[in-house]
């Protein structure tokens, strides 16, 4: 991400918001003078021998899922967020398949429980978000709501375990 020659170059940017993780403040120099600022990533590094320190409390991170579907033959469009929901509710809710099916916010921990994974923070992984719209358009279209499920996609491999990035 960021070039560096000393740790000071990386601590100056410690508040930078990155999609790949959090800057640690350390400059990793290879044999050349072109170092890179270390990032504590959300996913393990490609080098499987490197010690892994999973980010704390990732299970409490949230994912906002917004989806829509269109039936052009019937001139019907639906969104996964009910238009009658109040912004205050959406801001504070957490999806649950029984109690809170209208909430578009999913905790990472909830998703991991659905795919029955415990070691994904150590090895990384790839998860599919499956959204099924089972709609009977002979009835009120308000009854046309998405159903969410989750599947782990990456397979077990001795060559490259889990999921990683370069």
- For 152, the 3-state DSSP assignment is strand
Question: Which tens digits make up the pLDDT trace of 19-64?
Answer: 567 788 888 876 666 888 888 766 666 666 666 667 778 888 899 9
**Given 3-state DSSP classes, what are the helix, strand and coil percentages for the chain, each rounded to the nearest 5?**
20, 30, 50
Residues of the chain with pLDDT under 70: 1, 12-20, 30-33, 41-53, 118, 123, 156-166
| Virtual torsion, Cα 84, 85, 87, 91, nearest 10 deg | -170
Neighbouring-strand partners of residue 63 = 106
Q: CA-CA distance, 78 to 71, in Å (whole number)?
A: 9
* Global pTM exceeds 0.75: no
Neighbouring-strand partners of residue 21 = 41
pLDDT of residue 37: 87
């Amino acid at each position: 991400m960021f070039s560096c020659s000393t740790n000071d170059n990386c601590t100056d940017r410690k508040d930078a918001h990155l999609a790949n993780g959090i800057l640690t403040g350390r400059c990793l120099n290879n044999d050349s003078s072109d170092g890179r600022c270390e990032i504590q990533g959300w996913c393990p590094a490609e080098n499987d021998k490197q010690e892994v320190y999973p980010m704390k409390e990732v299970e409490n991170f949230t994912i906002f899922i917004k989806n829509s579907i269109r039936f052009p033959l019937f001139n019907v469009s639906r969104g996964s967020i009910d238009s009658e929901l109040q912004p205050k509710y959406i801001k504070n809710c957490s999806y649950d398949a029984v109690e809170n099916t209208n909430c578009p916010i999913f905790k990472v921990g909830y998703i991991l429980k659905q795919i029955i994974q415990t070691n994904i923070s150590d090895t990384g992984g790839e998860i599919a978000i499956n959204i099924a719209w089972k709609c009977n358009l002979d009835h009120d279209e308000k009854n046309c709501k998405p159903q969410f499920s989750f599947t782990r996609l990456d397979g077990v491999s001795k060559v490259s375990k889990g999921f990683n990035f370069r």
